[in-house]
């Protein structure tokens, strides 16, 4: 009987630790850009960016321009923010497409961004001035 009880305690403890890990991992371990994108960056076929200050937008299917913006957001660690309260306003949002399907939207820059309606802390800030330079390098559409 002691052996059976000990076995149940060990199994229960393991299950509890597994549940805690699964719930806590987005806040501790986080994701890289490819994981958030759920595909390889080379599969991105289009990027659309909108300026939050005036509503102007740009888009491109040029692979070189796509890689430029990918370099601004990759090689970072994104961990889910504890504070998920809605915020207002944004500098830029940028949508990544595979084919005709939008697969990822990032809103904002700096150390805290919104990705597909979830807020994330970023270990290396996404530089807003670099986003602005990328935006200004393309023809504006209204």
Q: What is the mean pLDDT of residues 118-137?
A: 95
pLDDT band at 3 (very low <50, low <70, confident <90, very high): low
In 27-132, the DSSP E strands lie at 46-51, 57-60, 78-80, 92-98, 101-107, 110-115, 118-126
Q: How far is CA 110 from CA 11, 47, 82, 104, in A?
A: 43, 19, 17, 18
Secondary structure (3-state) at 72: helix
pLDDT 10s digits, 16-59: 655 655 555 555 667 888 888 888 899 999 999 999 999 999 99
Residue 21 has a pLDDT of 54
pLDDT 10s digits, 88-112: 889 999 999 999 999 999 999 999 9
pLDDT 10s digits, 56-83: 999 999 999 999 999 999 999 999 998 9
pLDDT band at 123 (very low <50, low <70, confident <90, very high): very high
């Amino acid at each position: 009987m002691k052996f059976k009880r000990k076995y149940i305690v060990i199994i229960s403890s393991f299950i509890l630790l597994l549940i805690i890990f699964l719930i806590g991992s987005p806040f501790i371990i986080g994701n890289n850009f490819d994981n958030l994108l759920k595909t390889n960056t080379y599969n991105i076929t289009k990027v659309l960016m909108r300026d939050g200050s005036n509503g102007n937008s740009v888009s491109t299917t040029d692979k070189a321009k796509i890689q430029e913006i990918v370099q601004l957001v990759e090689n970072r660690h994104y961990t889910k923010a504890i504070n998920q309260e809605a915020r207002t306003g944004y500098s830029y949002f940028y949508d990544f497409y595979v084919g005709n399907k939008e697969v990822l939207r990032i809103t904002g820059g700096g150390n805290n961004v919104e990705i597909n309606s979830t807020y994330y802390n970023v270990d290396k800030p996404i530089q807003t001035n670099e986003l602005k330079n990328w935006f200004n390098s393309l023809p504006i559409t209204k």
